[in-house]
Structure 1
Amino acid sequence: MENRVALISGASGGIGACIAQLLTQRGWSLSLGARDPDALAQRFPDAHVVRHDATACDEAEWVAAARARFGRIDAVICSAGVTSPHDVIEIEDDALERMWEINVKSPRRLARAAWPDLCASGQGRVILLVSLSGKRVRSAASASYAVTKHAALALSHGLRRKGWEDGVRATAICPGRVRTNMTSGVTGIAPENMTQPENVAEMVGLALDMPNTASLAEMMVNCDPEDQY
């Protein structure tokens, strides 16, 4: 389990940055993709940082660069995500398509490009930051987002099934409201009472370190007593 290599999308801030920080402390080698790689490289000077745009279908190039740098890939962690506050009737096709690209299609492409490496690892891991919106539809305004996150949850289970015999384990992390820029406009709950991004990073760390015989298909966490189903 030494010298493990992880690719992380969405590491520029929020949950992704906390995951990158945690794995750095635990001795992982990291390849980080971001639209602003210079700023990310300043924050994580020891990481391999590349320019990545989830809407540009450039995942194969990122994986090839990471493979050339490290010679192996043991984990893919998809933390990038985007939302749109429109219900399923009001939302325009371009806004919905952007969510599909970032929340579903880009993670699939990233996992696909890294698949030979994950299988070769024998303990490959795919972590998708899905959200509790992949488990339920909380409101009409969040329903379009939930449509893509339900698909992301199914993607995680599909990857888990596909990779089982090769030791690849996929986990869907499903948090409720987390203190990030995405929830900065949420009312009714103070930021300090939300789940903290560091808490979610610890969940990712647990999923990465569990053996093949103790696969965690889904991990849910919330900051209120809402039913988790």
Structure 2
Amino acid sequence: MTLGGQVAIVTGASRGIGRETALRLARAGAQVIVHATGLERVESLAAEIGADGAVAVAGDIVDPGVSALLAQTALDRFGRIDVLVNNAGMNLRSGTLDMALEDWQRVMNVNLNGTLHACRAVLPAMIAARSGRIVNVSSTAAKTAHRNAAPAYGASKAAVNYLTMHLAREMAPHGIRVNAVCPGPVETDMTAEWDDGYRAQVMANVPLGRLGRASEIADTILFLASDASGFVTGETLNANGGTFMA
């Protein structure tokens, strides 16, 4: 699973799955445009990857202009766009009745609209090249209700799954593959804040008996971004330790 000579864009790359994905793609040989809302963390990540292999871009993914900047930066700096990983996302936990409408709209704007904006920004270059891979980071919450996921989060990720399938069918004649990965519970900054009781409860529902690692999701993303998955498109691949087997 190598990406030598290829160029990737990773949104939401400042920490967790996004950061591990950027590092994994870079180790596989890709030059990477790393994105986050704030510049400091992705500048540090770009420096870690190396000046010849990464460029940091900051901005709110809700703004279509940020996605346009990501695509233009890749073309100006490296001359091509081969891979887009839509990892930028957010979750605001609440029940349906006590959820502020603004929270619903914000989660939808980031998780769904941000993904759409980034896809629309890179697709013209991919269509011209008749090649490209898009990997959308979704969630197991898109496929089954979970009390720890707000209704906006699950609904937004379910919409991302549909968008993935729609784009896969629409872009297949242009040689572009579009897939999604649906992680289950993964060790992140957020899960580090869980108390022992809740952690044990979550792990009890994972057949493999543990939380996932961000690096394992990054490896799954690399698979979908590489030629190793050359006959895979329109899939929403579960990477969740068996918590949802469908």
| TM-score greater than 0.5 by the shorter chain | yes
SS at match of 1:147: helix
Indicate how the Cα distance of structure 1 residues 120 and 172 shifts in structure 2: closer, same or farther if over 3 A, else same: same
Quote the Cα distance in structure 1 between the aligned partners of 2:149 and 2:17. Answer: 23
Structure 1: which 5+ residue stretches go unaligned?
none
1:197 aligns with 2:209: no
Quote the Cα distance in structure 2 between the aligned partners of 1:212 and 1:63. Answer: 23
Aligned pairs for 1:8-157 (under 5 A) are 8-45=10-47, 46=51, 47-57=54-64, 58-139=66-147, 142-157=150-165
Number of the residue aligned with 1:160: 168
Answer with 162-171 or 44-53: which moved more: 44-53
TM-score calculated relative to the size of structure 2:
0.85
SS at match of 1:44: helix
2:82 aligned partner, one-letter code: D
Whether the 8 Å contact between 1:207 and 1:216 is mirrored in structure 2 is no
Task: Count matched residues.
Answer: 228
Q: Deviations over 1:85-127 (max 9, x none)?
A: 1122221111111111110001101110110112233330111
Q: Deviations over 1:126-161 (max 9, x none)?
A: 111101011111228533311111111111111111
Structure 2: which 5+ residue stretches go unaligned?
204-208
Indicate how the Cα distance of structure 1 residues 226 and 26 shifts in structure 2: closer, same or farther if over 3 A, else same: closer
Quote the Cα distance in structure 2 between the aligned partners of 1:168 and 1:100. Answer: 25
Quote the Cα distance in structure 2 between the aligned partners of 1:212 and 1:122. Answer: 14
Answer with 66-75 or 15-24: which moved more: 66-75
Quote the Cα distance in structure 2 between the aligned partners of 1:204 and 1:9. Answer: 13
Number of the residue aligned with 1:188: 199
Answer with 72-81 or 187-196: which moved more: 187-196
TM-score calculated relative to the size of structure 1:
0.91
Whether the 8 Å contact between 2:91 and 2:149 is mirrored in structure 1 is no
Whether the 8 Å contact between 1:83 and 1:145 is mirrored in structure 2 is yes
RMSD of equivalent CA atoms: 2.1
